[in-house]
Chains A and B, each alone.
Chain A
């Protein structure tokens, strides 16, 4: 029965995610991690891999999350679930979308919804930072939170932001650099 649940969860995610793959991250986080089907760290790894492989990020994440929760059948269920709302909407009502593409109330809808999407993406960054920029998991901090910060990881995150904004480097290259820097530190014994 878990496969039906997984299908239904990703169906909901496909139906309510606007603005591409990143906007899906908080929804998957909310549904899958909170059920305990994946750890926050495991999910953060999947986001990294989904970014580094070709294809739609949404499909990459759905296939991987499905595989991690119940194997190949999970992949099929999650991927079908996330794609089906799009297919059904287009087959049944795409004419409506073309007719109302320039309708003023559609503008109003996005005017109100897009700041919410920004908030959701920022919350995704926060949740992934919580498991990625600290030495131990959030619940296991000892002492002041500053003592638990992983400064190398914070450096990599800042480097990634600079690399994207200033040098316009490709995200895959930056993810690769992140991994390489970390391995470099380990080789140096730090």
Chain B
């Protein structure tokens, strides 16, 4: 019985976070912290910092990683699946609804006009995301070099993005293995 109650609480907690947070995974971090630490006392504040750090370094959506990790910790594999389902379901349903409505109205002149403006704003938002990431990620000339190499390989040689990610990761690991003294610097 107790097990069932935990699963239900996990599901609704993540359903609520997924259904009411705008701005994606990063915007959810403070909400997840509040729900999981302050409201339900599932993990300590220290532990949640660890969990969220791992969630951000795993591949995939940060929101999914967080809900799966917390669900897994609380109630094993079933907990992980139930929590993640709770996180995904609101998005899935809302987007299906919007997609259906949007498909019916996308040829409308006013909708088209609004989206010309929205697309222009999207360019600004992504540029800002790139700039913020640049400030956080590129710490020295080697970083600049990797960035320039990425742009050249991407635009001039059409190299697949996944190969570039693997290449960058491999280069970083190689660099840190060959020059362990660099570790102290960062």
Q: Does A6 contact B (CB under 8 A)?
A: no
CB of A79 within 8 A of CB of B88, answer yes
Q: Does A32 contact B (CB under 8 A)?
A: no
Given A107-B183, A108-B175, A116-B150, A124 contacting B126 (CB threshold 8 A) = yes
Interchain nearest-CB distance for A11 vs B (Å) = 10
Whose C-beta in chain B lies nearest to the C-beta of A122? B130
CB of A59 within 8 A of CB of B64, answer yes
CB of B119 within 8 A of CB of A154, answer no
Give the docked Cα–Cα distance between A79 and B85 (Å). Answer: 11
CB of B99 within 8 A of CB of A179, answer no
Give the docked Cα–Cα distance between A101 and B20 (Å). Answer: 30
Number of residues from B at the complex interface, CB < 8 A? 97
Within 8 A of A (CB), among B68-112: 68-69, 72, 77, 80-81, 84, 87-88, 90-92, 94-96, 98-100, 102-103, 106, 110
Interchain nearest-CB distance for A84 vs B (Å) = 9
Given A64-B99, A175-B121, A179-B114, A25 contacting B18 (CB threshold 8 A) = no
Q: Does B160 contact A (CB under 8 A)?
A: yes
Contacts of A161 in B (CB 8 A): 124, 127-128
Q: Does A136 contact B (CB under 8 A)?
A: no
Within 8 A of B (CB), among A48-103: 48-60, 63-64, 67-68, 72, 75, 79, 82-83, 85-87, 89-91, 94, 97-98, 101
CB of A45 within 8 A of CB of B165, answer no
Give the docked Cα–Cα distance between A54 and B91 (Å). Answer: 7
Interchain nearest-CB distance for B4 vs A (Å) = 21
Number of residues from A at the complex interface, CB < 8 A? 103
Give the docked Cα–Cα distance between A41 and B116 (Å). Answer: 9
What string of 1s and 0s marks CB contacts (under 8 Å) between B40-80 and chain A?
00000000001001101111111111001100100001001
CB of B120 within 8 A of CB of A111, answer no
By secondary structure, the A interface counts as helix
Given A47-B122, A63-B92, A97-B54, A172 contacting B117 (CB threshold 8 A) = no
List B residues at the A interface (Cβ < 8 Å): 18-26, 28, 50, 53-54, 56-65, 68-69, 72, 77, 80-81, 84, 87-88, 90-92, 94-96, 98-100, 102-103, 106, 110, 113-130, 133-134, 136-139, 143-144, 146-147, 150-151, 154-155, 160-162, 164-177, 180, 183, 186
List A residues at the B interface (Cβ < 8 Å): 12, 14-22, 25-27, 30, 41, 44-45, 47-60, 63-64, 67-68, 72, 75, 79, 82-83, 85-87, 89-91, 94, 97-98, 101, 104-125, 128-129, 131-133, 150, 152-154, 156-161, 163-165, 170-172, 174-175, 177-183, 186
